[in-house]
Structure 1
Amino acid sequence: MLSLPSRSQTLRGRFEADGYLPLPGLLDPDSLTALRAEARRLELSAARRDFSMECMAGSPRHMTTLGGLQIAQESPLISGLYQGADLLAFLASVLGGEVATVGDPVERHVLNILHREGDTHGAHTDDYPLALVLFLEAPPRPEDGGVLEFSPGHQDLDELNSATTRRAHHQPGEGYLLRSDRTAHRVTPLNRPGIRRTVLNLAYTVPGRQAPTTPSASLLYG
């Protein structure tokens, strides 16, 4: 289902330097269509989140989400994708070490949907080392919002307001890999009505690291 780069070891240096690796063409048209239809079906059970995370300096969450437990129960398609042997081997090659699935099904995979003007996924780092993000829907232009902002090599959320911040706009069918526990990141607000940003966020860890380090920063809430 995923079109993974064949020479993944050559990407390791870029990932180590930036904490971010773009993956264009990750989903072929058929896979994108199938996952988009699955996301629309699952969205009927998703919950709205509108709050700020005080533990992260009031970082806002305005989005609709569906957590991993429900996805595991309702979507064999996504569960199978998450545990794919080829994907795990690719991630291990890029990381340069063994990669493990997350034991807690709530944390494994999350559907995040921005679909209202002003929807945003505020500044944060994640509990687990790796986040693979698949774009099922995306705003057509960077100026529409929904853009990833990240600060390579920095966990401090304040760095996202500095000159070190980088920005990446993605199209449907693309993906990226993020060293999400060590890289401060956020998604900019949608700037107009009628646009959507739907992503599937797959979390992975390393052997011996299963307990979340900051439970309040759970992927389920952003």
Structure 2
Amino acid sequence: MPFTARTAEETAAARLRFYADGYAPLPGLLTSDGLDELRAETQRLVAIARRRDFTMSCMDDSPRHMTTLGGHVIARESSLVRELYGDQRLLGLVGAVAGEPPLTVPDPLERHVLNVLHRQGDTHGAHTDDYPYALVIFLEAPHSPAHGGLLQYVSRAGSLADLDTDRACSAHHRAGDAYLLRSDTTAHRVTSLTRPGVRRTVLNLAYTTRSAAPRSTQSARELYI
């Protein structure tokens, strides 16, 4: 999978941002060839993905209006995504930004998931994750922040309600971009798409560490089984 090389200065800046905010943007992580290859693969996987429309009780009844595919199905259907998840260059980048070596997560359901917002009003509501690190790679993204699909996040959140305070930050990304999130302690959500025809397609790669405390919620099973 072709990745864009990052300089030592870019990596150091991403590490500082991650330590401060629990979030580090990785613009242009995929080369144009890498984006084309991975986008074609995810378009194939979307054909077997499942539509979800519900509120998640374990995450303060926040809404889910999206189409998803769980890691257990992706592992069966896509050698490309399996290889991406364990790519040593990618793991090296995650470790350099996070400051510790990432490990694959024990639950195949959550290792690598596909999340698609493709209808007006689609949203991935407020939540935290079971594992400490999420590397989110964009295959499709709204062209303008005004079209929605923004990441909203609060580092070291006391509760999901912090997303409705002035502590919340927003970030817009483009196809080929990625970001690393400290996803177990950072409250986050994706804002609603505001117009028809807009799509936001991401692969979310979850990683853990030796020091991470075990944490388990029903959220992944509600969204990906």
Name the TM-score, length of structure 1 as normaliser.
Answer: 0.94
Residue matched to 2:217: 215
**Which deviates more from structure 2 when the two are superposed, residues 108-117 or residues 145-154?**
145-154
- How far the C-alpha of 1:128 sits from its partner, in A, is 0.3
CA deviations on 1:104-133 (whole Å, 9 max, x unpaired) are: 211100000000111000000000000000
In structure 2, distance between residues paired with 1:108 and 1:115? 23
Tell me the CA shift for residue 156 of structure 1.
1.2
Does residue 81 of structure 2 align to residue 78 of structure 1? yes
The gaps in structure 2 that reach 5 residues or longer are none
User: Separation in 1 of the partners of 2:221 and 2:15?
Assistant: 25
Give distance in 1, aligned partners of 2:17 and 2:117.
Answer: 29
Q: CA deviation at 1:217?
A: 2.2
How many residues align? The count is 221
Deviation at 1:97, TM superposition (A): 1.7
Matching residue's letter, 2:223: Y
- Spell out, residue by residue over 1:17-45, the C-alpha distance to the aligned partner (whole angstroms, 9 max, x if none): 10000001101111111111111100111
Q: Distance in 2 between matches of 1:189 and 1:214?
A: 27
**Does residue 174 of the first structure (1) align with residue 174 of the second (2)?**
no
Q: Does 1:156 align with 2:159?
A: yes
RMSD of aligned Cα (Å): 1.6
Give the counterpart of 1:197 among 153, 178, 200.
200
Residue from 50, 53, 63 that aligns with 1:50: 53
- In structure 2, the partner of 1:11 is 14
Instruction: Please list, as runs of the form range in 1=range in 2, the aligned pairs for 1:42-191 lying within 5 A after superposition.
Output: 42-191=45-194
Identity %: 54
Deviations 1:114-155 (A, max 9, x none): 001110000000000000000100111111111110012214
- Cα–Cα, structure 1 residues 156 and 51, in superposed 2: closer, same or farther, change >3 Å? same
Give the CA deviation at 1:3.
Answer: 2.0
Q: SS of 1:218's equivalent?
A: helix
Q: Could you list the runs of 5+ residues in structure 1 that have no partner in the other structure?
A: none
| Structure 2 length-normalised TM | 0.93
